[in-house]
Homo-oligomer: A and B are copies of this chain.
Amino acid sequence: MTNTAPPGGGTAPRENPLPEPLTIGVDVGGTRIKAGLVAGDGSLRATRVRDSPGDSAEAVAQAVVDVVGDLRSAAGDTEVAGVGVAAAGFVDHAEGVVLFAPHLPWREEPLRDRLSALLDLPVGVDNDANAAAWAEHRFGAGRGQDEMVMITLGTGLGGAHLAGGRLQRGRHGLAGEYGHMVVVPDGRDCPCGRRGCWEQYASGTALRRAGRAALATGGASAEALLGACGGMASRLQGEHVTRAALAGDLLSVGLLAETGRWLGLGLANLAAALDPACVVVGGGVIEGGELVLGPAREALTAGVPGAGRWPVPEVRSAALGNSAGLIGAADLVRTSGRPTPAGGPTPP
C-alpha cells in the first residue's frame, strides 16, 4: 500500500526543493476510492485504496474522512496542509459542488462543504480529468507543456485543457466534458441521455462493445479473443481485447485501431477548436500503447483543417497511470493551480 518512489519514474523531478507540507489527494471513482499522501514533487509517501460505498452521499463522505484520517496518521509529525478530491462527475469547482455523477450517489452534492465540516483541513474539489491533467502537466508526460489537452480513456472519455499553464474550467468548472461532444448525429445511445457522444466510440466501454460484437459474429478469427475472456463473450471486457491485441491477435489489433481512429477524429475536432501543442492520453485503454495511439495520430493528422498547413499536436501516452487523479488533486490544493507555484519544481 505504501510507495515511496516518485511517480512516473524518470519524468518526476529528482530534486525536491520543498517537499513539505504534504497534502492528501483522494480520487473518488464509481468503484474505488484511491487516496495518497503527496509531497511537493508529486511523489507518493503513502497510498490507500478502498471500495466506493454506493448507497449515499453521507457514506461516501465518511469513507473519504476515514481514509484521510488514516493517511494523516501515516504522515506522523509531518504537517498535512489540505485535502484535494478528484471526483468522477460534473464538478462546479468554484462552489465545490458535484452537480451530477453517473456512477456515484451525488446530485447537487456540496462535497467541499460537507467534507470541510468533517475535516479540520482546507478541502478542494475538482473533476477527476482536471486533476489527472494537472498531475501530468506538473510531474508527468505534459511537463513543460502549457498548451495541453488531456484525454482519459476509461469507462468513458474524460478530458481537460490547460492554456498558459492553467486549467481551463469554464464558467461553472464544467469545461472538458469532451466525451459528450456528439460525433455521430443520431448515433449510439449514451447514458447521458443523448446519442452519438464521442465516448460511445472511443473508450473502454466502446472497445468492450466492439469486442462482444466481434465475438457474436464468431468464426475462426475470433478464437484468440474468445480465449482471452475464458470462452464467455458476455464476460469480455476492454482489457481482454487489449491483452489479446498485445499478444498479436489480429482481430483485437483491428478493434484497438478502430478505437484509435475514433480517438483521432475527435482529437482533430479539439485541435481545430483549441490548438493545443500536445495531447496526453491516459486511462486503461492506452495499455494498448501504439496499437491505439498510432491509428489515433494518423486520423488526427488526416483530420486537422488547413490542407496540410495546420500544426498537428503531438500525442503522448500519460506517465502517471491511475495515480494521476489523486496526485493532481493533492497538488491542486497545494498550489491552487498556479502555473509555477512557490516551492514547486521548475518546469524543464
Contacts and interface: CB of A to CB of B under 8 A. Distances in A.
Contact of A309 (B100, B168, B176): B100
A99 B306 contact: yes
Contacts of A181: 269, 272-273
Interface string A14-35: 0000000000000000000000
B170 A274 contact: yes
Interface string A159-197: 101010000111111111110111111000000111001
A224 to B, nearest CB: 29
Chain A: interface secondary structure? loop
Residue of A147, A171, A185, A272 with most chain B CB atoms under a 10 A cut-off: A272
Contact of A272 (B177, B277, B306): B177
A219 B172 CA distance: 49
Contacts of A147: 170-171
A144 to B, nearest CB: 13
Contacts of A305: 90, 177, 180, 192-194, 197
A269 B161 CA distance: 15
A11 to B, nearest CB: 21
Given A163-B168, A276-B170, A100 B306 contact: yes
Contacts of A313: 171
A202 to B, nearest CB: 13
A171 to B, nearest CB: 4
A197 B306 CA distance: 12
A85 interface: no
A275 interface: yes
24 contacts: A90-B306, A90-B309, A90-B310, A99-B310, A107-B309, A108-B309, A147-B171, A170-B275, A171-B311, A172-B311, A174-B310, A175-B275, A177-B272, A178-B272, A180-B305, A181-B272, A184-B185, A185-B265, A192-B306, A194-B303, A194-B305, A269-B269, A273-B273, A273-B274
Given A107-B309, A174-B275, A181-B269, 16 more contacts: A90-B305, A90-B310, A169-B275, A174-B310, A176-B273, A177-B272, A177-B273, A177-B305, A180-B272, A180-B306, A181-B272, A181-B273, A182-B268, A184-B184, A192-B306, A273-B273
Interface of A: 90, 99-100, 107-108, 147, 159, 161, 163, 168-178, 180-185, 192-194, 197, 265, 268-270, 272-277, 303, 305-307, 309-311, 313
